[in-house]
Amino acid sequence: MKKRKKRAKKGEPQRVTKAVTHIRLEETNLGKLSVLDQLAQVYLALCQQYVTLFCTDELPDSFHAPCLVTSLSERWHRVAIQQAAGIAKSWRTNRANAYQDYLDALAEDKEQEADRTLEAGAKEPEWREWDVPTLQQTCIQANANVVKCEPSHDSTFDYWLTISTLEFRQQLFVPVKLSNYHIGVLTDPKTGKRRTINSSVTLNKRDGAWWLTLSYNDMVTVQTPPDAPVIGIDVGIANFITTSDGKQYGTFNGKLRERQKRDREKRRRKAKLRKCLEKKGVKRLPSTSSATGQRLIRHVRQEINRAVNLCFTEHEGCQFAYEQLSVATMRHKARAMNAYMRASNLGHIPNQVAWNVTKQGIAATRVKSAYSSQQCHVCHYVDRKNRPNQRTFCCKVCGHTTHADLNASQNIAARLYDEELRACTSRAEVKALLMRRHEHWKQKFRIAVVDPPIQLGLWASSETSTDVG
């Protein structure tokens, strides 16, 4: 089990590492950079071998003893092992999370089957084993042992890169000239001085050119007081964000949906054409990737970013609770969308929230999302039938009626300080806990469920309820 990250208190500085990307290495260094090309080839081949090793036979370990043959120096060999261990680690974590999501989805499927709410023709979720990652991009995550990046005292350049090469004791010196944009980013606005950069640098080759990524550490102080009002964030398609105070930000419906439909049609036609050509024995088939699809994803992400930014601007001084989105919840939220879109975009919302809060020093916490959309915010009753349709929430027991996303965001807000719920280790435990609370609620209000109309009147004004727990 992963240990939960400690929530930073107000006034506590948090270290945030920020990357400065797209620094192009000068064309004038062409001869020099071809030496880098040769190095990269050998390096990536070795790195790939370790990635495969760490994803299959052994656990990722940056300190693993070198066990493969290479013409690289010992130091470069270590860097390759470290990079491979990092890649394998995140691959293993992502795979484990995806597998847990699959188990959750399967459990939800079984529940629906049991209470006969499974849609006709719905397929049982399937698990497909993941492939070991293959390194497709030329990317070298180097440390100071192999690539030194030092400020230049010569006035024409900003930095000098000193790179160890394949030749024993032969070093490559590459000057770096920053653009005005990069100079701006690397200048501390408080002191007006150049920031101190971290000793590790990344080298990328894209479109025939080499690019450098630098990074620096910034201290961000958490500004949110612990008693700041709690805002719950519900993530969805119809509304990217619904907050527990009843505001909505961004939508996938309308223009974006139209664009997605057009793109899907286009891809379908292309696939048909490919099949047709394949039958005729044509060797060079048109590519399956779609440029408009990529543009669409970028566009959706921009829209998401805009929605998230606006949400934070309009809730200054608040703290936030948001969902841990799993594939199971995404399935629930995005029935009508294709797998590709929901995977690439719904998941982007919580990531964007996380990045925004870290950057701005806002307190925000991820909470469990299990049953947040089926649970009644007033009486805690959990039932899929509380959702007569995608938009509406109507509690079968107490009659609490409101917008479905609003009910969910209020549940999410209430979960922020809910330690009992946080301690639950499975969906079943969450459900059992909520149903216990529902029983408690019934006893407290002595409501024998005999006369729904009276209760309807009782709880009609509960939409603005601040009830937590």
Distance CA(307)–CA(62), nearest Å, equals 39
Binding residue for Zn ion, selected from 146, 353, 378, 408, defined by CB under 5 A: 378
Q: Nearest CA to 377 among 425, 351, 416, 413?
A: 413
Q: Is residue 434 involved in binding Zn ion (CB under 5 A)?
A: no
* DSSP of 416-459: TT-HHHHT--SHHHHHHHHHHHHHHHHHHTT--TT-HHHHHHHT
Q: Is residue 414 involved in binding Zn ion (CB under 5 A)?
A: no
Nearest CB to Zn ion, comparing residues 400 and 427: 400
Distance CA(269)–CA(325), nearest Å, equals 33
Nearest CB to Zn ion, comparing residues 345 and 409: 409
DSSP alpha helix (H) spans, 220-347: 255-279, 291-313, 327-333, 339-341
Closest distance to Zn ion from the beta carbon of 332 (Å): 19
Q: Is residue 379 involved in binding Zn ion (CB under 5 A)?
A: yes
Nearest CB to Zn ion, comparing residues 308 and 394: 394
Binding residues among 327-356 for Zn ion as defined by CB under 5 A: none
Closest distance to Zn ion from the beta carbon of 62 (Å): 51
**Binding residues for Zn ion, how many (CB under 5 A)?**
8
Nearest CB to Zn ion, comparing residues 342 and 437: 437
Stretch that binds Zn ion, among 53-61, 165-173, 265-273, 398-406 (CB under 5 A): 398-406
Binding residue for Zn ion, selected from 318, 395, 408, 416, defined by CB under 5 A: 395
Q: Are 381 and 375 in contact (CB under 8 A)?
A: yes
Binding residue for Zn ion, selected from 300, 398, 404, 416, defined by CB under 5 A: 398
Stretch that binds Zn ion, among 17-25, 66-74, 239-247, 372-380 (CB under 5 A): 372-380
Give the end-to-end CA distance of the chain in Å, rounded to a whole number.
25
Stretch that binds Zn ion, among 11-19, 91-99, 124-132, 396-404 (CB under 5 A): 396-404
Q: Are 350 and 322 in contact (CB under 8 A)?
A: yes
H-helix or E-strand containing 176? strand 171-176
Tell me how crowded residue 364 is: count the other CB atoms within 10 A of its CB: 22
Report the interface residues with Zn ion, using CB under 5 A: 376, 378-379, 381, 395, 397-398, 400
